[in-house]
Structure 1
Amino acid sequence: MNKELNLLGLATRAGKVINGEPLTLDGIKRKSVKLVYLASDAGNSTKKRIRDKTTTQSIPLIEDYTNHELSQSTGAYNRVVLGVTDVGFKKKLLELNEKGT
């Protein structure tokens, strides 16, 4: 597993990640979500809803990982949408994503 997914797992264990589409969309609405992970193999309707919401709210969106990779990193089954709620984790995750590690 790469460093970005390892850090995502750490953020999850620290309670700084929201799991699931409804909770993430609610967190975006409340402005508590700072970064969103969307599984690359998510359904088209889910992709459209998440992309539209993150675009209108100017929230970074990462679509580099599959459902399996996101699920494995968070230790939960069938994770398609994840919302990171901590600014520190957001910055480091984006930094690692840009480096491609």
Structure 2
Amino acid sequence: MDKILSNLGLCARARGLVDGTDIVCSQMADHKIKLVFLAKDASENTKKKIRNKANYYNVEVQESYSSIELSSAIGKENRMVVGISNESFLKILKK
């Protein structure tokens, strides 16, 4: 597992992220999400929804990982979208 995925796991345990399309979208609207990880194997509808919302609220989206990699990193099953809400972890993940 690479460093970003390991740090996502730490962030999940520290409750510094949210997962799920609807929750991430609502928290982007509240300006709580700073970075979004979108699974590269997510449906086109999910990708469009997240990209449009992120573009509107000026949130960076990374599509480097599959849903299996993201799910494994945060310890949950079948996750397509993960949003980082913790500023400290955002700095760590961007290094």
Quickly name the TM-score band, shorter chain normalised. over 0.9
TM-score scaled by structure 1?
Answer: 0.91
1:74 CA displacement: 0.4
CA displacement, residues 47-88 of structure 1 (integer Å, 9 cap, x when unaligned): 001001111111111100000000000010001001110111
Partner residue, 1:20: 20
Counterpart check, 1:3 vs 2:8: no
Counterpart check, 1:67 vs 2:62: no
CA RMSD, Structure 1 to Structure 2 (Å): 0.7
Partner residue, 1:54: 54
Q: Matched residues, percent identical?
A: 37
Q: Which runs of 5+ in 1 are unaligned?
A: 96-101
Taking the aligned partners of 1:54 and 1:63, their CA distance within structure 2 comes to 13
* SS at structure 2 position matched to 1:18: strand
Taking the aligned partners of 1:80 and 1:36, their CA distance within structure 2 comes to 10
Taking the aligned partners of 2:34 and 2:87, their CA distance within structure 1 comes to 6
**Pairwise mapping of residues 38-53 of structure 1 onto structure 2 (< 5 A)?**
38-53=38-53
Counterpart check, 1:90 vs 2:90: yes
* SS at structure 2 position matched to 1:37: strand
Q: Amino acid of the residue matched to residue 43 of structure 2?
A: G
TM-score scaled by structure 2?
Answer: 0.97
Taking the aligned partners of 2:31 and 2:54, their CA distance within structure 1 comes to 11
Taking the aligned partners of 1:5 and 1:78, their CA distance within structure 2 comes to 15
Taking the aligned partners of 2:92 and 2:61, their CA distance within structure 1 comes to 14
